[in-house]
Amino acid sequence: MEQNMGGIIFGVGIFLLMLTAAGMAGCPAYNVYSSRMEGEAILAKSQASRQALVSQAQAEKDAATLRADAIGIVGKAAKDFPEYREQEFIGSFAEALHNGTISQIIYVPTERNIPIVERRN
């Protein structure tokens, strides 16, 4: 029985030695695989960040183009219809009155944007 036990211990020792050797042989291959996967993850993250920045820049460009178009439309309307600015002023004035931002109105009569001043004798 002692001889049998010694063989088992020897067999287990050889198995552990072989298992350790196989693990050590596999470590460099795993390190290469792990490094490659880590590099691919970093690359994917940087590509996603770049794509997000490009999308944001495109959205800002589109918004700027639309704002420029709107300004052009308003400018054309003001040029083609001189009363447009007056109507815009009246609309803004009415909105301010409605919201309560204007508490007092002082009317100054003008003629060609020059106040009319009456002289008292």
Nearest-angstrom CA–CA distance, 58 and 34: 36
Q: Please determine, for residue 1, whether its predicted confidence score (pLDDT) is greater than 70.
A: no
| Cα(75)–Cα(84) distance, integer angstroms | 10
The pLDDT value given to residue 54: 96
| Every domain of the chain and the residues it spans | 2-115
Q: What is the pLDDT of residue 59?
A: 96
Is the model more confident about 83 or about 43?
43
Please state the φ and ψ torsions of residue 63, each to the nearest 5 degrees. -65, -40
Task: Give residue 57's pLDDT.
Answer: 96
> What Å distances lie between residue 34 and 20, 22, 26, 27, 111, CA to CA?
20, 18, 12, 10, 84
pLDDT of 25-78, one tens digit each?
A: 767 777 778 888 999 999 999 999 999 999 999 999 999 999 999 999 988 888
pLDDT, tens digit (0-9, with 9 covering 90-100), for 89-112: 888 888 888 888 887 778 888 888
pLDDT score for 53: 96
